[in-house]
Chains A and B, each alone.
Chain A
Amino acid sequence: MAGWTKHTGTAVLLARDNIDTDQLIPARFMSVPRSEGYGEYLLYDVRRDATGQPERDFPLNRVKGVSVLVAGQNFGSGSSREAAVYALVDAGIRAVIAPGFGDIFAGNAVNNGLLPAQVTPDDWQALRNALSDAPRDLSIDLATLCIQGGDNTIPFQLSENWRTKLIHGWDDIDLTLHHADDIARHRRALHERQPWVFPAPDA
C-alpha cells in the first residue's frame, strides 16, 4: 500500500446519514475476487434503479473522477466487510469526510489507504453548503490535518496512529514480525499460566 500526505481531488456531497456497509456493497457481490475490482459495486443498489440502470440524479453518477466523498453521520456503520472499503478505493475514492464513522469501517479504511476524516457537525454543515450546488475540488493534508476548499480551511480529526499509517503506507504484518520475540515470550508465559488456552478437544 502506497502512503500519501496530500491529496487534491473532486469532492461530491452524499447528504445522507447512516450509509452502512450493506449499502456501500450489497452482500451478493462479495464472492468476487479482489483482483477483478470492486469499483462498479460501490453503492450499487443506491445508484441504480430496479432494472440496473444508473439513476441520473445520483451525485456519483453525475460527476466523473470523484475522489472525495462528503457524507452524513455514521458512515460505514454495520458489518466488518472490508469489501465496502475495496468498493470505495477501487472506484477511485481517497477520502471520506463525515461527522462520524463506524469503528470497524474506519480501521479497514486506514488499512487500505482510505482516509476517514472526521469533522465537527458545524464544519460538516459548512462543507455541505459549499458542495450543495456542485462538486468542487478539496485539498486534504495529513501533515496539518486540514481540508482546504477555496478560501475555507477546515480541520479534521484522525488518531495519531492512523495518520502515521496513512502517510507511510505501512504493512502491519511486516511491522509485527519485528516483534516475533516478544510474541513468542507472551505465548510461552500464557502456555505456562493458562494451558487451557491451547485446547485439545475431547478425543
Chain B
Amino acid sequence: MSAPQTLLDRLWSSHEILQRDDGTSLLWVDRHLVHEGSHHAFAKLAARKAHVAEPSLTFAVVDHYAPTRRGRDVAPDIAGMMKTLEDNARAHDLTLYDLDHPAQGIVHVVGPEQGLTLPGLLINCGDSHTSTHGAFGALAFGIGATEVAHVLSTQTVWQRKPDAMRITVDGTLGPGVSAKDIALNWIARLGTSGAQGHAIEYAGSAVRGLSMEGRMTLCNLSIEGGARFGMVAPDAVTLDYIKGRPFAPKGPDWDRAVQLWDGLTSDTAAGFHKDVYFDAAEIAPTVTWGTSPEQAAPVTANLPNDLTQTTTEALEYMGLSPGAPIAGTPVDQVFIGSCTNGRIEDLRAAAAVLSGRRARVPGIVSPGSALVKMQAEQEGLDQIFSNAGLEWVASGCSMCVGMNGDLVAAGKRCASSTNRNFRGRQGRGARTHLMSPAMVAAAAVTGAISDVRPLLEGRAV
C-alpha cells in the first residue's frame, strides 16, 4: 500500500518531469497567463531569438494598466504597456484578452470565468496572486520575469516542493463575515511569514461552505501570509462552477475529467508539516490598521498599545493613535474591486449594504471583468452603486496597485477591498485599510470604518 498523500503530493507528482539531485523539480505547466507586466520576459525571449513553446497554452490579458474610464485619453506610458503586450501576443500567436474583448478583466478573474482554470492543472502567471486559481484544486503560483521567460520558452518551471500546510476552518460564519475575514484573521494570527515556504490547503466545513468566489478570495490572499500556493480540494461546488465554461472539457472528456478530479484530495492519514485550526464562529469582520496585512484586527477591537518599532512606524504612517478604537476612524474614500474581491458575489455583498443608502465619501467600484460588469448591470447593482454616489467603472487592477493612474492621494485614507496595505501601494503616502466588500460599503455609508453587521439587520444577504 502506498503512503498517504496530500493534495499537494498528488498535484506535484502529476506535473514532475524530473527531479535534480539538489531536490529541485522540473514541472510541466498547463496554463501560462501573461499580462502587461510580462514585458521583461518577452524582452528576454527576444534577446534569445526564442519563440513561445506552447502558444495554445499561453493566454495574454490586459489588466494591470487597463484604464477604468474607457474612452478617455490614456497616458502614453500606460498605452505603451498595453500595446507591448498586444504586439507580443500577436507576434507569438497567443489568445489575447484586450480592452475590446468581451471577456477582458483581471487575469485571476478571467482564467476561472473562461474555464481555463481547472482542477489538477499547474497554472503560472507573473503575479503573486496566481494562488487564486488554487481554489479549483490546481497547483497555481506566481513567478518572476526570469521564470516567465523560462515558461514561455519551455512550458516548464523549476521549483522546489514546498512543505504542506493545512488551515482548517470549521463551523458557520456569522452574518456579514466572509472569506476575506477568514483570510485577514489567519494572517493576523500567524503573521505575514506564517506560511512561508509552504503550500496551504484550506479545509473544514466553513471552507466547504464557501462559493467558488469565496474560495478564490481565500486562496488569493495566501501570499499575504507568505505562501506561494493556496488550494481547496475540488467538490460539487467546483464542478458546478466549471461546467459549460468556454474552455472547460465537454462530452466524454468532461466525464473522464470529473473521474480524475474526484481523486484530488488529501488522504485522511496524510501528514501536514503545519496544521492549524480556526472556529468560523469566532471570526468577526476584520480590518487592517497598519502597513502589513498581518496588522489586522476585528473591527470591534482597539489599536495596539504594546508598541514595537514596527507597530509604531505603521501607526505613524497611517496617522493613527495607539489604543484608540478602530471603528469610527474616518475614511476619505473607498474602493471596491481587484482580483481579491471583484467578483459578482463581492459586488452583491457591497450592494446589499449600499442599497437605498448614500455614501458619505467618494469611491469607485471596478468589477473584476467585463462579464462580471455585465452580470452586475443585469442585476441592477450598478444602479445601487450609482444611486449611492459611487462611480461605476470598467474592469482592471485599478486602485489596488495604481498602475493605470487610479491612485489614492498622499495622506488620504481609503477603505479598500484589495490585498495589500503596503506603504505607497495605492499611491505615495496613501493610507489603505483592507476589508471585505461589505465592510467597504459600510465605511462608504458611514464615512468611517464601521462594523457592517448592524447595517445588515433586516436586509436579505
Contact = CB atoms under 8 A, between A and B. Distances in A.
Interface of A: 15-18, 20, 22-23, 26-28, 30-31, 33-34, 45-46, 50, 72-74, 77-83, 85, 100, 102-104, 107-108, 111-112, 159-161, 164, 172-173, 176-177, 179, 182-183, 186-187, 190, 194-199, 201-202
Using C-beta atoms within 8 Å of the partner chain, give the interface range for chain B.
Answer: 35 or more
Interface of B: 17-18, 20, 22-24, 26, 28, 30, 37, 39-40, 43, 48, 50, 56-57, 65, 77-78, 80-81, 95, 114-116, 118, 120-121, 126-128, 130, 142-147, 149-150, 153-156, 158, 160, 162, 192-193, 196-197, 223, 226-228, 246-249, 253-254, 256-257, 260, 291-292, 309-310, 313, 401-403, 410, 420, 422-425, 428-429
Contact of B40 (A28, A34, A79): A34
Contacts of A107: 143-144, 147
Contacts of B424: 22-23, 26, 45
A196 B246 contact: no
A112 B313 contact: no
Contacts of B95: 201
B144 A173 contact: no
A75 to B, nearest CB: 10
Contact of B150 (A173, A179, A199): A173
23 contacts: A17-B310, A23-B422, A27-B401, A30-B37, A31-B39, A31-B65, A33-B39, A45-B423, A78-B223, A80-B142, A104-B142, A104-B144, A111-B144, A172-B146, A176-B154, A182-B26, A183-B26, A196-B118, A197-B30, A197-B121, A199-B56, A201-B114, A202-B246
A196 B242 CA distance: 13
A169 B149 CA distance: 17
Contact of B291 (A18, A111, A202): A18
Given A31-B81, A34-B43, A82 B145 contact: yes
Contacts of B158: 172, 176
Contacts of A160: 22-23
Contact of A173 (B48, B77, B228, B260): B48
Given A26-B428, A77-B192, A80-B127, A103 B81 contact: no
A103 B163 CA distance: 13
A112 B429 CA distance: 30
B152 to A, nearest CB: 9
A111 B145 CA distance: 9
B235 to A, nearest CB: 19
A31 B26 contact: no
Given A159-B23, A173-B153, 11 more contacts: A16-B309, A27-B425, A78-B420, A82-B145, A102-B226, A107-B144, A108-B147, A111-B144, A173-B48, A196-B118, A199-B116
Contact of B18 (A81, A111, A182): A182
Nearest to B407: A28
Given A23-B422, A104-B142, A108-B146, A199 B154 contact: no
A183 B155 contact: yes
A183 B451 CA distance: 53
A132 to B, nearest CB: 13
Nearest to B81: A31
Contacts of B145: 82-83, 108
Contacts of B292: 17-18, 20, 74, 77
Contact of A80 (B80, B144, B155): B144
Given A22-B424, A100-B193, A176-B154, A186 B17 contact: yes
A80 B128 contact: yes
B81 A82 contact: no
Contacts of B24: 161
A177 B228 CA distance: 26
A22 B22 contact: no
Contact of A201 (B223, B246, B291, B402): B246
B349 to A, nearest CB: 26
Contacts of A34: 40, 43
A66 to B, nearest CB: 21
